Structure 1
Amino acid sequence: MLEKLSTASVLAFERKLDPSYAVFHSGSWSEQAKASAWVPIGIQEKSVRGTISNRLKAKDQDPAKLDASIANPNLQTVDIATLPADADTLRVRFTLRVLAGTGTPSACNNAGYRTRLQSVVQGYVEQNGFTELALRYAANLANGRFLWRNRIGAESVQVEVARMQNGASSQSWTFDALALDLRGLEQPNQDVQALGKLIASGLAGETHVLLQVSAYVRLGRGQEVFPSQELILDKDTKKEKSRTLYQVQDVAAIHSQKIGNALRTIDTWYDEAQEVGPIAVEPYGSVTTHGRAYRQPKQKQDFYTLLDDWLLKDKTPTVEQQHFVMAVLIRGGVFGEAG
């Protein structure tokens, strides 16, 4: 039966960790509990006069040419977002839905493959559950990884995670994010374990899980904060800005995709993990900022090779690589056979 099975040409999965965009508000560290004290942070535009600082080609390194280039100002218009002069703390808030149905494709045109896939996933769940993955997702909520550049250099970072039921908080956890190691996903404390247990129950379909995550970052009055930057594909050179920041209803925000990327930065099961640290779960272990794919097909550690071995060749991967395959299915995506 296994020898006759082939990968479905249409195969897609919906994500099971579904974050919203994260909005920015400003306030004072001492007034975290006071809802009215938090004011939306808007996007502002500014124009600056810079200097030529890029690496020059050899032909342009002549002193006369360089002087002539520097005489021309490098004018830029950019978006910025800052805390007001009377606020020292940034609040970043988003919600996270945890959905059941991992391993059940949203689209699959091969009934035999679907049956085999669900059988393999069920076997994994019976043997391992979602505990290991959920603990790692919980750790990335607790350590504030989703803050990205806003976390760097902060004096204090406090993360509050509340379980929402009927529009109100029914359970909550508070974490000192800077006390938690971004690389130490394998040593969760008791609160992280409790949060991980709830996420695992949501992935298993045992209960409905909706979380509200609020991070308070003490940066200093008037300090710059860092929403997501927009990728402008259709540029108008007359109105072009060097940097365009993301905003939702005139409030600075982080893309939901960027929040999701931070939460799934749990892959420590690849060969160079000890030196590099956790990377986001991706089929080929791709990290664009490194210009590297850490799970090359020739190493037989990429998602597609592991999945095909597991489903089609009945070669069960190691437990660590099973975790990776399940994490990719939780991530979601389109994984059909290439045409």
Structure 2
Amino acid sequence: MATKNTDSLKTASVLAFERKLDPSDAIFSAGNWADRANHAAWLPVDVREKSVRGTISNRLKTGGKDMDPAKLDAEIEKPNLQRVDVATLPPTADTLQARFTLRVLGGAGAPSACNSSAYLNKLLAAVKSYADTAGFGELARRYASNLANARFLWRNRVGAEMVEVQIRHLQDGAAAKTWVFNALNLSLRHFDAPAADATALAELAQVIEQGLAGKKFVLLEVSAFARVGAGQEVFPSQELILDKGSSTAGLKSKTLYTVGDTREKRGVAAMHSQKIGNALRTVDTWYPTEDDFGQSAPIAVEPYGSVTSEGKAYRQPKVKKDFYSLLDAWVLKDQAPEAEQQHYVMANLIRGGVFGESGKD
């Protein structure tokens, strides 16, 4: 929540932004590396159920004075029976294809809802100043790099022998331009392009920049091929099951995300669009750190720099480098952040969200 300020201008209580990088779900299919250009050779990756008999391996509570050692021994000797979803390549296919589309929408920084005309005018002035001086080139370059390096494959990228990304700029349903990248040649820790890919990345970044600036409609089709080995397991998104009912008996301990006809018993393995979007906006290297090892590894753009896998927020309000502190200083107090933090603020507006200030104490 934004901090209240004593100036006459206040943050709008209704302030919302639509995301400007709009990916679809990524659909998984299987084939062979040599058939990357033959779309008819690729078949959907099914999700099936597997029942396994495992062992008890979690840490047990042993500090209770009433804990009977005999009962503890009996507990860890029990089998751990599980029902899980699994997705694998067939024995005749060695490569995973993940395919999705990405719309790059114009009007970056302009809210979709704002109930204060005074605040809206100041905000749009700040956005215009950013577009005229810094521009969207730096953010577009980083978004383009995250497409080319296949960061969106997540665990499927790890351990792959080869990874190729094909990106097509679609116009009137046809590819106006196609770029092909060897994803493993591009780093996940920085955005410096290898010499062999510099021209293609610059072209892709320019298209994304034009889309964010509203100069043209941009629709990209992205196909990533990861050669992981015949029959190997692949990793679509895992569903978060919040309502498990009154009993967990007989329920699956892992449910994978699928798309397709709901009448079918088996859907096609897929990755959530939210997970794709998280990978694409992993461009924040400007957050404060406690060490001094050069450029920080990128994290996803979030208002507080939250990284749930680490249980840490890198942009805490007390440091005044969080999104709300920077935005308030920029719009309400005419204190423009340094250029790097302006990129961060704009990346949050491109991310989208509801950022109004509540009138409640």
- Which TM-score tier does this pair reach, normalised by the shorter chain? over 0.9
Give the equivalent residue in structure 1 for 2:36: 32
TM superposition shift of 1:56 = 1.6
Give the equivalent residue in structure 2 for 1:138: 144
Question: Which of these residues, 233, 236, 261, is aligned with residue 224 of structure 1?
Answer: 233
Give the equivalent residue in structure 2 for 1:337: 357
Aligned pairs for 1:247-326 (under 5 A) are 247-249=258-260, 250-272=267-289, 274=294, 276-326=296-346
* TM-score, length-scaled by structure 2: 0.91
Task: Say whether the 8 Å CA contact 1:198–1:209 is kept in structure 2.
Answer: yes
* TM-score, length-scaled by structure 1: 0.96
Task: Say whether the 8 Å CA contact 1:136–1:186 is kept in structure 2.
Answer: no
Tell me the distance in 1 between the aligned counterparts of 2:335 and 2:316.
19
Question: Which of these residues, 230, 242, 245, is aligned with residue 233 of structure 1?
Answer: 242
Tell me the distance in 2 between the aligned counterparts of 1:153 and 1:185.
21
Percent identical among aligned pairs is 62
Structure 2 residue 62 is the aligned partner of structure 1 residue 51 = no
Structure 2 residue 221 is the aligned partner of structure 1 residue 212 = yes
Unaligned runs of 5+ in 2: 1-5, 261-266
Question: Which of these residues, 204, 211, 216, is aligned with residue 202 of structure 1?
Answer: 211
Task: Please tell me the root mean square deviation across aligned C-alpha atoms, in Å.
Answer: 1.6
TM superposition shift of 1:309 = 0.3
- What SS does the aligned partner of 2:321 have? coil
Tell me the distance in 2 between the aligned counterparts of 1:49 and 1:210.
46
Q: Give aligned pairs, total.
A: 338
- What SS does the aligned partner of 1:58 have? coil
Tell me the distance in 2 between the aligned counterparts of 1:81 and 1:277.
30
Aligned pairs for 1:128-207 (under 5 A) are 128-187=134-193, 189-207=198-216
- What SS does the aligned partner of 2:101 have? strand
Give the equivalent residue in structure 1 for 2:347: 327
TM superposition shift of 1:238 = 4.0
Task: Say whether the 8 Å CA contact 2:193–2:201 is kept in structure 1.
Answer: no
Q: In the superposition, relative to structure 1, how do residues 70 and 124 fare at CA in structure 2: closer, same or farther (>3 Å)?
A: same
Tell me the distance in 2 between the aligned counterparts of 1:49 and 1:318.
56
Tell me the distance in 2 between the aligned counterparts of 1:43 and 1:153.
21
Task: Say whether the 8 Å CA contact 1:164–1:210 is kept in structure 2.
Answer: yes
TM superposition shift of 1:187 = 4.0
Give the equivalent residue in structure 1 for 2:264: none
